[in-house]
Amino acid sequence: MHIERLITMANDIATYFTSEPDHATAVNGVRDHLTRFWDPVMRRQLKTFVTEGGEGLLPLANEAVEGLNVPAVLN
Amino acid sequence: MLSIVEIDYGTPKAVSANTVILQIDGKNISVPEGTSVMRAAAQAGINIPKLCATEMLDAFGSCRLCLVEIEGRKGYPASCTTPVAAGMKISTQTPKLAEIRRGVMELYISDHPLDCLTCPANGHCELQDMAGVVGLREVRYGYEGANHVFARIPASKGQKAAIHGRTHELVPNPLFSPKDESNPYFTFDPSKCIACSRCVRACDEVQGTFALTIQGRGFESKVAASQDNRFLDSECVSCGACVQACPTATLSEKSLIDKGQAEHSVTTTCAYCGVGCSFRAEMKGEEIVRMVPNKDGHANHGHSCVKGRFAIGYASHPDRITTPMIRASIADPWKVVSWDEAFAHVGSEFKRLQATYGTHSVGGITSSRCTNEETYLVQKLVRAGFGNNNVDTCARVCHSPTGYGLKATMGESAGTQDFDSIEKTDVVLVIGANPTDAHPVFGSQMKQRLRAGAKLIVIDPRRIDLVRTPHIKADYHLKLKPGTNVAVLNTMAYVIVSEGLVDHDFVARRCEPEAFAKWSAFVSQDKYSPEAMEAQTGVSAEAVRGAARLYATGGNGAIYYGLGVTEHAQGSTTVMAIANLAMATGNIGREGVGVNPLRGQNNVQGSCDMGSFPHEFPGYRHVSDVATRELFEKAWGVPLYNEPGLRIPNMFEAALDGSFKGLYVEGEDIAQSDPDTQHVTAALSAMECVVVQDLFLNETAKYAHVFLPGSSFLEKDGTFTNAERRVSRVRKVMAPKAGYADWEITQKLAQAMGYPMNYGHASEIMDEIAALTPTFHGVSFDRIDELGSVQWPCNEEHPNGTPVMHVDEFVRGKGRFMLTEYVPTREKVNAEHPLILTTGRILSQYNVGAQTRRTANVMWHDEDRLEIHPHDAEERGINDADWVGIASRSGETVLRAMVSERMQPGVVYTTFHFPESGANVITTDNSDWATNCPEYKVTAVQVTRVSQPSEWQKRFRAFSNEQQSLLDQSAAAQPADTLGQQ
């Protein structure tokens, strides 16, 4: 998928959690949201993007994606 | 004319804990206090003659036919206006009463046409019935005197002139009015009117439009629409309540005039909006004579709107396609095939796609226009048959934020009340909804409550009708700028917290304390003071403070909201902000309060309940939840995928990158209803097998490779779940025109994919849903038949259903306040796009218009117009009805302008009922952060006067013409022996 679209969507999610005063809760919030609602292919694509630098992602999104669980095998 | 099967008790049911015992015609009768004598008698099987009384209206006491004698009382009181009293002894039939009644009827009939045998009301005319009941045998007055019956009458003696030797010159009758046939669905024949006022009262009391009146005095009294206009030109909204109330043929459905009286009646549920009205389909064999709202319907109590009652002609429209068709490419003509060929073709294509591109390369989309059973089967086909979770529903583009926001705060993705709860509401808060247009029957109930004294707060960029309508004026109209819902709700929260209006007792007992403390601190920030936000929201601080105080302290406060809340980049945040306000003020968990999403389509709630979101099984249980997944794996006999699938916009993205190749769409028109049309059609064009199951060759079907003809709601069994979580039966009144009910088609597709499904009846599907879904454990077709309808949760704990949720505790335990930071949308006005476009609906049309455009409802709305404030119009040299181009960063379209002061300067508005309008050509890919619900309600645009259609419209027309010709070619090529089969 277009990575720009995924970046926008991830940043939108991160923006919602920005007002959360507890940083760890905010990071978990973004990560949990991505895990619960995003197709694993999208998660993997975003995670790969982050390992390659993740330019354009908000710091909170970046941090959340770093620890994001992506299934090893996608059939 | 009332329903052919309902008993009319004459006056409304009284509700009282006290019982009164009285005697009528020697029978002891006990009824609730407040019951009329007429009703008490009728409940005991004693029918007192009546004409101006009907159960749907308050007693009026004008016809003087229902008089009775009461022991110890003087005179002959009208039984409709006389309430029962303990120990009353009443006689309904005495020689004196008979004489009076006969006298009354004699007068009525002396001014009524005697064409009974050819009259449409014949067989069900209350006037005729009463003439029979009172034993009228003669009319001593004759028929020649002053009357409303004849168009021409003999000239009076003074005027008489012996022209051409004739002595009986006829002159126009000043009391006569010709038949008004302007309304497409009913006629008004004043010559048959008995001036009982039932129509006028129905318009006032039931619909609340006040379009009808009795004009003139004495014998000149007559019913008039608005200022004696034709019905079509009047304020009449064509709800039909007057037609239903009319005891004669004065107001008659044209379908009744054409077809004659129905011979049986089947109770079913409307297929339009989320009110989910119960109707009696009054039938002649398999033909519908008329639809009459069911007075026992729990959602509508005998009321309807122009769509549900009248706009059903689409079901038999010649555009209906009734044979399956396939084609290799969308540039090819359609080939008509047998059902078996069609199923085999889809099965082999989807298997080929999965073998070539992987398990996840196909998916399905279901619709809020489908029944629960159909939706359930589509998601089952995807999860169990396709082996992935790529299933989504059109709620994605409407109420998905409701699901997210209410689940996060209260624990259940559904509205908290039943509609009748509003009867106990003191303050009604309407935000981003237009009930009188989009949910008209509930809108009428709301208007009744407001006229009875409830206060009203409207939060909407437009001056919707509710803001100022006869005998209603909003106490506050917060006319905010589109896209600032969260800001306004946060300022209200600020006022409630800072002015000490929080219901601390409720919060302490019912909500998570840490979350409340965090929220309370959050909304107390200076930036959310109404004064600080004024410039951004465009709403005066004073109005916000007043509205917040009223909602928090005015008694029972109930919030009603619609797509003006959800279809924003902050849709889910707004839903959570609404829930926060309700929890902070203790407005949850009892009658009269609550958070009430008004659902756009009839089965939005149901389609969400049935597991049609890619991350959830039926009953809102996540696919990663092991216990739930095992339950479904056991029941369905296959391993199920434990990760969320693709949402609709994800499917489009995946199609464009080549990984998503096959789509099964049931009852949804994504090419018209989804945002950024050109993006959607590019995605559809990139797929190898698009299967559309629908009544018509809709916009999506023009990009399809397989067309499977679906069935209308009249042709199948099932259930719909309305905005109140009310599950009601849809009952088959005629055979499916294409041979199969939709659930049968899905079942056959599953079989063609090699996954076994063998349901014999829709009820068996509901039995499976009930077995697998805790909130539905008690639901079955039999149980619904027994109760009429039932609101889930319906299970061991709540065998009769649940009108009000979260009563003692929230579904999630403690209520959770969520933080709701206001984040301005990316869609900002600038020099290039200086106006904000927002979208909405109109009463006479429904959603993408596939149904209502194929009915006479186009007489009220035959094109989408761009509403623009006079100031913005003048600046651009735009006059009413000019063609204007509307350009956004996504695209451009052309509509005609409607200059309107309902708009605020800087904001323009349109509806999206006609595909060629291209409203979604201009909407963008912005979406709700949590659910990807599109931001339909905010698009920055420029508007200019133009003289020709947009480039997109030209391409659209060319493409539509081409697709129509490919369809015509298939009809021409169809072998004669397959025509009309199945």
* Out of B359, B646, B931, closest to residue A75 by CB: B359
Residue B518, chain A, CB below 8 Å: the answer is yes
Min CA distance, A29 vs chain B (Å)?
A: 11
CA distances (Å), B59 to each of B204, B341, B401, in order? 13, 62, 45
∠ CA B734-B735-B739 to the nearest 5 degrees?
155
Domain positions in chain B: 19-121, 172-316, 340-388+604-646+653-791, 400-597, 835-963
Residue A9, chain B, CB below 8 Å: the answer is yes
Residue of A nearest to B523 (CA): A19
pLDDT-based confidence at residue A75 (cuts at 50, 70, 90): low
Query: Is B360 close to A41, i.e. CB distance below 8 A?
Result: yes
User: Which chain B residues touch A20 with a CB distance below 8 Å?
Assistant: 819
Average pLDDT over residues B177-198: 97
Nearest to B815 by CA among B406, B494, B400: B406
Question: Which of the 8 DSSP states describes residue B385?
Answer: I
* Out of A20, A21, A71, closest to residue B643 by CB: A71
Residue-wise pLDDT tens digits, B737-755 = 999 999 999 999 999 999 9
Which is it for strands B689-694 and B662-666: parallel, antiparallel or unpaired?
parallel
Query: Is B358 close to A75, i.e. CB distance below 8 A?
Result: yes
**pLDDT on residue B925:** 87
Residue type, B202: A
Q: How far apart, in whole angstroms, are the C-alpha atoms of residue B434 and residue B459? A: 10
Residue of A nearest to B389 (CA): A39
* Out of B650, B656, B821, closest to residue A39 by CB: B650
* Helix (H) / strand (E) containing B49: none
Contact B305, B285 (CB under 8 A): no
Give the pair of three-digit tokens for residue B828.
């900002």
Average pLDDT over residues B673-698: 94
pLDDT-based confidence at residue B145 (cuts at 50, 70, 90): confident
Q: Residue A20 is part of which domain span?
A: 3-53
pLDDT-based confidence at residue B168 (cuts at 50, 70, 90): low
pLDDT at residue B163 tops 50: no
pLDDT at residue B158 tops 70: no
Min CA distance, B377 vs chain A (Å)?
A: 22
Residue of B nearest to A70 (CA): B643
Residue A41 lies in a domain: yes
CA B627 to chain centre: 37
What is the CB neighbour count within 10 angstroms for residue B57? 23
- For chain B, give the mean pLDDT: 94
Domain B19-121 has CATH 3.40.630.10: no
pLDDT at residue B160 tops 60: no
**pLDDT on residue B185:** 98
Residue A7 lies in a domain: yes
Query: Is A19 close to B614, i.e. CB distance below 8 A?
Result: no
pLDDT at residue B981 tops 60: no
Query: Is A39 close to B643, i.e. CB distance below 8 A?
Result: yes
Category of B526 on φ-ψ map: left (φ > 0), alpha (ψ -120 to 50) or beta: alpha
Residue A40, chain B, CB below 8 Å: the answer is yes
Nearest to B110 by CA among B76, B146, B84: B146
3-state helix, strand, coil in chain A (%, to 5): 65, 0, 35
Residue A72 lies in a domain: no
Buried b (16+ CB within 10 A) or exposed e, B606-632: bbbbbbbbbbbbbbbbbbeeeebbebb
Structural domain tally of chain A?
1
Tell which of A5, A19, A34, A68 to mutate to test the B interface (max B CBs under 10 Å). A19
Min CA distance, A2 vs chain B (Å)?
A: 7
User: What's B400-597's CATH class?
Assistant: alpha beta
CA distances (Å), B281 to each of B75, B121, B166, B310, in order? 43, 18, 53, 11
Residue-wise pLDDT tens digits, B895-917 = 999 999 989 999 999 988 888 88
CA distances (Å), B728 to each of B115, B269, B497, in order? 41, 7, 41
**pLDDT on residue A1:** 84
Residue of B nearest to A26 (CA): B819
User: Which chain A residues touch B654 with a CB distance below 8 Å?
Assistant: 1, 41
The string of DSSP codes covering B462-519 is: S--GGGEETTEE-SEEE-PPTT-HHHHHHHHHHHHHHTT---HHHHHHHB-HHHHHHH
For residues B71, B74, B80, B86, the Cα torsion angle rounded to the nearest 10 degrees is -40
Query: Is A39 close to B644, i.e. CB distance below 8 A?
Result: yes
Nearest to B362 by CA among B375, B381, B340, B339: B381
Tell which of B407, B628, B651, B929 to mutate to test the A interface (max A CBs under 10 Å). B929
Q: Which regions of B869-912 does DSSP assign to beta strands (E)?
A: 883-887, 892-899, 907-911
**pLDDT on residue B559:** 98
CA B96 to chain centre: 50
Average pLDDT over residues B746-773: 97
User: Which chain A residues touch B931 with a CB distance below 8 Å?
Assistant: 37
Residue-wise pLDDT tens digits, B247-296 = 999 999 999 999 999 999 999 999 999 999 999 999 999 999 999 999 99
* Helix (H) / strand (E) containing B98: helix B95-110
pLDDT at residue B164 tops 60: no
* Among the four given CATH numbers 3.40.50.740, 2.40.50.100, 3.40.50.300, 3.60.15.10, the one describing domain B340-388+604-646+653-791: 3.40.50.740
Contact B88, B70 (CB under 8 A): yes
CA B713 to chain centre: 14
Give the ipTM of the model, two decimals please: 0.96
Residue-wise pLDDT tens digits, A15-39 = 999 999 999 999 999 999 999 999 9
Category of B248 on φ-ψ map: left (φ > 0), alpha (ψ -120 to 50) or beta: beta
Give the pair of three-digit tokens for residue B573.
């945040």
Residue-wise pLDDT tens digits, B292-324 = 999 999 999 999 999 999 999 999 999 999 999
% of residues, chain B, pLDDT over 90? 91
Phi, psi of B96 (to 5 degrees): -70, -45
Residue A63 lies in a domain: no
Residue-wise pLDDT tens digits, B242-255 = 999 999 999 999 99
Contact B393, B607 (CB under 8 A): yes
| CATH number of the domain located at residue range(s) B172-316 in this protein | 3.30.70.20
Nearest to B532 by CA among B826, B820, B822, B829: B822
Contact B883, B947 (CB under 8 A): yes
A with B: how many residue pairs have Cβ under 8 Å apart? 63
Residue of B nearest to A18 (CA): B821
Burial class (CB in 10 A: 0-12, 13-18, 19+), A74: middle
The string of DSSP codes covering B225-239 is: ETTTB-GGGSS----
Residue A42, chain B, CB below 8 Å: the answer is yes
Residue-wise pLDDT tens digits, B561-610 = 999 999 999 999 999 999 999 999 999 999 999 999 999 889 999 999 99
pLDDT at residue B976 tops 60: no
3-state secondary structure of B576: helix
% of residues, chain A, pLDDT over 70? 96
**Which residues, in sequence order, are CB contacts of B866 under 8 Å at separation 6+?**
B884, B886, B895, B896, B897, B898, B908, B909, B910, B943
Tell which of B382, B622, B650 to mutate to test the A interface (max A CBs under 10 Å). B650
Residue-wise pLDDT tens digits, B356-414 = 999 999 999 999 999 999 999 999 999 999 999 999 999 988 899 999 999 999 999 99
Contact B823, A16 (CB under 8 A): yes
Residue A13, chain B, CB below 8 Å: the answer is yes
Interface of A with B in 48-67 (CB under 8 A): none
Query: Is B615 close to A9, i.e. CB distance below 8 A?
Result: no
What is the CB neighbour count within 10 angstroms for residue B973? 11
Query: Is B573 close to A16, i.e. CB distance below 8 A?
Result: yes
CA B954 to chain centre: 33
Residue type, B889: R
Query: Is A13 close to B821, i.e. CB distance below 8 A?
Result: no
Domain B835-963 has CATH 3.90.70.10: no
Average pLDDT over residues B954-977: 81
Q: How far apart, in whole angstroms, are the C-alpha atoms of residue B446 and residue B457? A: 12
Give the pair of three-digit tokens for residue B627.
């216990």
**pLDDT on residue A73:** 63
Residue-wise pLDDT tens digits, B520-556 = 999 999 999 999 999 999 999 999 999 999 999 999 9
Residue A71 lies in a domain: no
What is the CB neighbour count within 10 angstroms for residue A62? 21
Contact B660, B361 (CB under 8 A): yes
Q: Which regions of B644-800 does DSSP assign to beta strands (E)?
A: 662-666, 689-694, 706-709, 718-721, 726-730, 790-791
